[in-house]
Structure 1
Amino acid sequence: MVINGARGRVALLLLVCAAARPAFAGDGLLQNGNFEYAPDGSQMNGTRVTGPHAIPNWESTGFVEYIDSGTTQGGMVLSVPEGAHAVRLGVDSSVRQQLSVTNGSYYSVTFSAARTCAQSEKLRLSVIPGHDDDAPNELPIQTVYSTSGWDSYSWAFIAAQDGAVTLVIHHADDGVDDPACGPIIDAVAIKTLTIPNPPYSQDGSGGSKNDLLRNGGFEEGPYMIPGSAACGVLVPPMDEDAVSPLPGWMVMSYSKAVKYVDVSGTRAVELVAGVEAALVQEVETVPGADCRMEFSVGDAGDGCAAACDDDDANGNGIGMRVTAAAGEASTSVAHCSKGGRWERGVLEFKAVESRTRVVLFSAGYHTRSDGSGTLCGPVVDDVSLVCASSTPPPARRRLLRRR
């Protein structure tokens, strides 16, 4: 919607005034989170936004463009992930919005991004003021995990105060000459995270009341834009002390992600990056305790089951394979299904240290059968860990962090 004339200027003034007040950080899109409310034409130079408050509810800095769906630049059609409009962040540019938060609460931000011209585009997300030991997290977006050309990403933070904080999405300098070069951003949403504390029961999923793992069923995770459940939300790699948008779990990788998906109405994780990204959780254990880890392996029904045609040296179909490791033990579970079936994996081991890391990763690389080359992989769900001679540790405040 382009706002013109005297009435348009009044409407724009009201929108700018609304932007001066922090939005309530509930579940869903931020105010004008899909950028469908357009800048006034007087604050545009072609596609470039010329005023810092031109985009309703947002403040912009640097070379920021307001993109219409179907816009062509340099012979390339720019992809708008949701709706008819989005923004493009040039080199060293950012958009920001104030949020109303509660001190000590955990929040996950979901947004969609499409890479345009640079091969090493990275986005840096932060909140101001931030938590004492939080640093801006860089999210690499050079790998595309969908056939549409864009992906949904997630990021999380702890509120450092009551009241207003500013969410900043910044495109760092990639060393390119074109100041307009940068990713397209759309559909920015937020969700308050709730963290289940062990011991708890995963009724109906094979879990146990003495389960040491948090969020083993993956039911708590980043916000999914309605209608995008089939595409999933990427959970990027994290530093040791980063807050996770997937409570209880971290992603260990240099630049690859895992995908938070909805499979037949339940949430799970698709291991889309092979051995380059591992799903990790660390728990307190008693050295010498006998432990049993269980997990389910399936697929997302996205055509990745074509990997079932792969054969090993003996001509046996090996399908997709998930490796689980904990303590000094490991096991692999093969999955060869075209949807609707799950394999149950079991890993028995003896705890060696007072803290044990549970690790899950795809043992191979897979792409969809449609010829697009889109990365995909096996899906894991219903992960549990029970140690016979140990007592689950008490709930702690830093539930989303790994030491």
Structure 2
Amino acid sequence: MEAAAVLSVLLLCATVHTTVAVTDGLLWNGNFELGPKASDMKGSEVLKHDAIPGWTIFGFVEYIKSGQKQGDMLLVVPEGAYAVRLGNEATIEQTINVTKGMYYSITFSAARTCAQEETLNVSVAPDFGVLPMQTLYSSNGWDSYAWAFQAEYTTATIKLHNPGVEEDPACGPLIDSIAIKTLYPPKPSRVNILKNGGFEEGPYIFPNTSWGVLVPPNIEDDHSPLPAWMVESLKAVKYIDSDHFSVPQGRRAVELVAGKESAIAQVARTVVGKTYELLFAVGDASNSCEGSMVVEAFANKETLKVPYESKGKGGFKRAVLRFVATSTRTRIMFYSTFYTMRSDDFSSLCGPVVDDVKLLSVRNPRRLA
């Protein structure tokens, strides 16, 4: 009897949806490995709004097993054995405890299925973002995306919604591995006027994936998942780690994966008439991204083009751009001149890596001239 009572309590805890405290990493059942009961499903369709432990669903949501077929297409799950698919106007959400006023970044993996123009709405009231999924950056069809928000209340309901209207109501993105990370706004220091110049503060990266995390353009994200930096372009940039890529300095860096459509920028406080030096590293991520690359750096009205010959096996070079400030605020920006594809996978965009960005004032510019 006691064993049966304990088992009943455990089952109840697994099915009751409560507000959970936030810790860096996967949300509760964020990889969907705990699935609905067979009685709550019709084929792959989930019938009850609270059938998936930890989550509430609305609309046509499917529980997908890795290897499941959709016509001639084999559906692959990047981590574990299960994922969910959001049909037309479908939503999946979870409520967590947060600290009011703090910044958080959501990371999730998604794959396009039958629709070519799929988008995904990500929201935590009152913030929301529309993330386009037309461009694929990895060979297996899955990409990880980051989106950030500032907590307005002590609880936050994270919602992923498919706004698409397709002829087939089952068409929609596959979603897997949803995680959260607390972001701590960086500050300038004595050795760097720029904030987060080494990109060490950023979104959560799944330890078992090897494709990095896409940071969306700032036009789709009021709060950057890459603190202090804006993505001023039509396409995303990729946030990479030293566990899976070659990184010039520290454990994190940014890969400019979409040519001039993939740019990062930051506005720094400067003194009019003072001379500054912008120092940075340019390299490749050791991901078979080969060929001639050029990173263009901008500071005030000055421009520097830094060529880099990549063999796709890692490495970097350093560059310096000197300029005289003409304003109390100076925009620093980087983008890649060319589009590049991986040599081992001609469907995956890649590009040069930028890291260890520093902005320093020059005390005696004449001596260094």
* TM-score for the superposition, normalised by structure 2: 0.91
Q: Structure 1: which 5+ residue stretches go unaligned?
A: 1-5, 200-208, 308-318, 390-403
Task: Give the superposition deviation at 1:340.
Answer: 3.9
Task: Give the superposition deviation at 1:195.
Answer: 2.4
1:400 counterpart residue number: none
SS of aligned partner of 1:42: helix
Of residues 334, 337, 340, the one that matches 2:307 is 334
1:287 counterpart residue number: 272
1:372 counterpart residue number: 346
Task: Give the superposition deviation at 1:70.
Answer: 0.5
2:331 counterpart residue number: 357
Aligned pairs, how many?
Answer: 352
* Separation in structure 2 between the aligned mates of residue 360 and residue 42 of structure 1, nearest angstrom: 54
% identical equivalent positions: 52
Of residues 165, 169, 182, the one that matches 2:160 is 169
- Which letter does structure 1 place at the counterpart of 2:117? S
Query: Is 1:344 the equivalent of 2:318?
Result: yes
1:398 counterpart residue number: none
Task: Give the superposition deviation at 1:74.
Answer: 1.8
SS of aligned partner of 1:336: strand
Query: Is 1:212 the equivalent of 2:203?
Result: no
CA contact (8 A) 1:113 1:186 kept: yes
* Separation in structure 2 between the aligned mates of residue 367 and residue 76 of structure 1, nearest angstrom: 24
Of 231-240 and 116-125, more deviation after overlay is shown by 231-240
Task: Give the superposition deviation at 1:239.
Answer: 2.3
Mark the CA change 1:257 to 1:337 in structure 2 (over 3 Å): closer, same or farther. Answer: same
* Separation in structure 1 between the aligned mates of residue 90 and residue 344 of structure 2, nearest angstrom: 36
Task: Give the superposition deviation at 1:48.
Answer: 0.6
2:224 counterpart residue number: 244
- Which letter does structure 2 place at the counterpart of 1:251? V
SS of aligned partner of 2:14: helix
* Separation in structure 1 between the aligned mates of residue 220 and residue 133 of structure 2, nearest angstrom: 20
CA contact (8 A) 1:251 1:258 kept: yes
Runs of 4+ in 1 over 6 A off after TM superposition: 6-10
Of residues 68, 73, 82, the one that matches 2:70 is 73
The 5 A counterparts of 1:1-400 are: 12-17=11-16, 19=17, 21-128=18-125, 130=126, 135-162=127-154, 164-173=155-164, 175-199=165-189, 209-228=190-209, 230-239=210-219, 242-254=222-234, 256-263=235-242, 264=246, 266-305=251-290, 307=291, 319-338=292-311, 339-388=313-362
Task: Give the superposition deviation at 1:10.
Answer: 7.0
* TM-score for the superposition, normalised by structure 1: 0.84
* Separation in structure 2 between the aligned mates of residue 8 and residue 273 of structure 1, nearest angstrom: 52
Mark the CA change 1:8 to 1:179 in structure 2 (over 3 Å): closer, same or farther. Answer: farther
SS of aligned partner of 2:287: coil
Q: Structure 2: which 5+ residue stretches go unaligned?
A: 364-369
Task: Give the superposition deviation at 1:14.
Answer: 2.6
* Separation in structure 2 between the aligned mates of residue 194 and residue 266 of structure 1, nearest angstrom: 17
